[in-house]
């Protein structure tokens, strides 16, 4: 999935590269971007940005301003196995920068218990862990693990949305937001608008914030399939006017 970074947000990619894990990974935007430069996305490497949260300017102030939302590890998975030796230091930086809020997305929620720092407890106040669930099969597997995980801020990511999804009555105040989006790229699979609306219904019934983030390239609405150019996919989703907020939670993952 992709995101545009606002002036009050920062992007921190401490490592780069990932392994495709489930059907949602088939047309991964990281792989798509790397292929243009002849880069192998399956090789996980520590980046030159690794210590970005604690870097300082000449006047000794931090380069990332206090209060920023830091989108973390968006060209990899924070819980990927190859990063186990680096993650300890990454957690330490998150602790040091308690004035920032870190947000990362994972498909590896089943590894979380192996990856947490000793002082994690029931979660850091300044960390949101999002879990991807792109179809019913991934919901059935990941949702129980995610619901039980010791995380203070949880957001479900249904992007790319590849099937109808039934959360089977498991939603509640434990999840702050559900983000839905179609798949981008010319090889994109269809996103059915009815699937989007049904997830929205489940959010409203449980008073959970809902964000229709992007239409994707192929959106099926009624009997008609729309092919939407990349530059319009976010704006067309906004124009649908179906976003729902249960409050003004500033840690929600949104534009």
Q: Do 123 and 184 lie in a common domain?
A: no
Ranges under pLDDT 50 in the chain: 1-5, 248-250
Domain boundary among 105, 127, 149: 127
Q: Do 26 and 103 lie in a common domain?
A: yes
| Alpha-carbon span 36 to 39, nearest angstrom | 8
Q: Do 15 and 65 lie in a common domain?
A: yes
Residue 151 domain-assigned (yes or no): no
Supply the range of the domain harboring residue 20. Answer: 6-127
Closest among 158, 157, 215 to 185, alpha carbons compared:
215
pLDDT of residue 2: 41
CB 147 within 8 A of CB 174: yes
* Number of folded domains that form the chain: 2
CB 251 within 8 A of CB 100: no
Q: Do 78 and 21 lie in a common domain?
A: yes
Q: Do 169 and 121 lie in a common domain?
A: no
Contacts by residues 231-239 (CB-CB < 8 Å, ≥ 24 positions apart): 233/182, 233/184, 234/4, 237/181, 237/212, 237/213, 238/212
User: CB count, 10 Å around CB of 168?
Assistant: 11
pLDDT of residue 251: 57
Q: Do 166 and 85 lie in a common domain?
A: no
Tens-digit pLDDT profile for residues 178-193:
999 999 999 999 999 9
Residue 118 buriedness (CB in 10 A; 0-12 / 13-18 / 19+): exposed
Tens-digit pLDDT profile for residues 51-77:
999 999 999 999 999 999 999 999 999
Residue 138 domain-assigned (yes or no): no
Beta strand pairing call for 218-221 and 191-192? parallel
């Amino acid at each position: 999935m992709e995101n545009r970074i606002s002036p009050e947000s920062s992007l921190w990619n401490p490592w780069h590269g990932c392994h495709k894990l489930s059907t949602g990974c088939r047309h991964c935007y990281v792989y798509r971007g790397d292929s243009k430069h002849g880069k192998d996305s399956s090789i996980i490497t520590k980046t030159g940005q690794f210590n970005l949260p604690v870097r300082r300017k000449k006047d000794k102030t931090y380069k990332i301003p206090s209060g920023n939302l830091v989108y973390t590890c968006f060209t990899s998975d924070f819980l990927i196995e190859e990063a186990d030796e680096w993650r300890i230091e990454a957690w330490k930086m998150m602790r040091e920068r308690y004035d920032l809020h870190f947000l990362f997305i994972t498909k590896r929620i089943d590894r979380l218990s192996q990856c947490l720092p000793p002082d994690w407890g029931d979660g850091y106040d300044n960390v949101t862990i999002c879990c991807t669930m792109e179809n019913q099969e991934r919901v059935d597997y990941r949702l129980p693990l995610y619901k039980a995980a010791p995380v203070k801020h949880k957001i479900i990511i249904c992007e790319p949305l590849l099937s109808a999804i039934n959360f089977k009555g498991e939603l509640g105040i434990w999840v702050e937001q559900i983000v839905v989006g179609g798949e981008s790229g010319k090889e994109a699979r269809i996103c059915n608008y009815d699937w989007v609306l049904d997830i929205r219904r489940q959010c409203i019934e449980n008073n959970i914030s809902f964000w229709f983030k992007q239409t994707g390239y192929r959106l099926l609405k009624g009997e008609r399939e729309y092919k939407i150019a990349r530059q319009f996919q976010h704006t067309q989703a906004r124009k649908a006017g179906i976003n729902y907020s249960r409050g003004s939670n500033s840690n929600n993952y949104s534009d």
